[in-house]
């Protein structure tokens, strides 16, 4: 593992343990050159299904895109990174365990909304207002009443 600080190719593992969710191995490493410490996570590489957009285009599944859309909805909300990571892991698990070779953006959006509803009601409403493309205030009002 190359050191992210100085680029030296030799680092030593100082500590190894499972992550809190149990889906990764957390390693504390130390660079033999600059002596700085950093953390790495080792996860199994899974073949995720392709994402089918509304226009029919197929793109690779991207955890980063999901994280970015959730982060936008959760902006300025008091939700920890650990809770967001756990929500992302649950979404990935559902998508992967479906066994399908493709998943629609509609299905992904519903999974994200379910997780946001659990994490933060305001973030849920923010995401839903964009995702569901409300035409009028009444539709938006009905969503809020659901909560």
Model confidence pLDDT, tens digit, residues 31-64: 999 999 999 988 877 678 999 998 999 999 999 9
18 shares its domain with 54: no
34 shares its domain with 65: no
Residue 136 has a pLDDT of 67
Residue 6 domain flag: no
**What burial class does residue 129 get, using C-beta atoms within 10 Å of its C-beta: 0-12 exposed, 13-18 middle, 19+ buried?**
middle
State how many domains the chain has. Answer: 2
Residue % of the chain over a pLDDT of 90: 62
Q: Given a cut of 80, is residue 142 above it in pLDDT? A: no
Residue 145 to residues 5, 81, 114, 129, 140: CA-CA distances in angstroms? 50, 28, 16, 13, 9
Residue 23 has a pLDDT of 77
Q: Given a cut of 90, is residue 138 above it in pLDDT? A: no
């Amino acid at each position: 593992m190359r050191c992210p600080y100085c680029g030296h190719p030799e680092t030593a593992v100082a500590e190894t343990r499972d992550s809190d969710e149990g889906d990764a191995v957390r390693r504390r490493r130390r660079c033999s050159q600059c002596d700085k410490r950093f953390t790495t996570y080792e996860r199994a590489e899974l073949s995720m299904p392709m994402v089918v957009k509304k226009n029919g285009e197929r793109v690779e599944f991207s955890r980063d895109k999901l994280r970015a859309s959730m982060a936008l909805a959760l902006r300025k909300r008091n939700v920890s990174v650990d809770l967001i990571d756990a929500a992302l892991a649950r979404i990935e698990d559902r998508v992967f365990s479906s066994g399908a070779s493709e998943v629609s953006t509609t299905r992904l959006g519903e999974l994200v909304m379910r997780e946001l509803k659990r994490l933060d009601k305001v973030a849920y409403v923010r995401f839903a207002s964009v995702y569901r493309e409300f035409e009028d205030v009444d539709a938006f009002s009905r969503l809020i009443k659901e909560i």
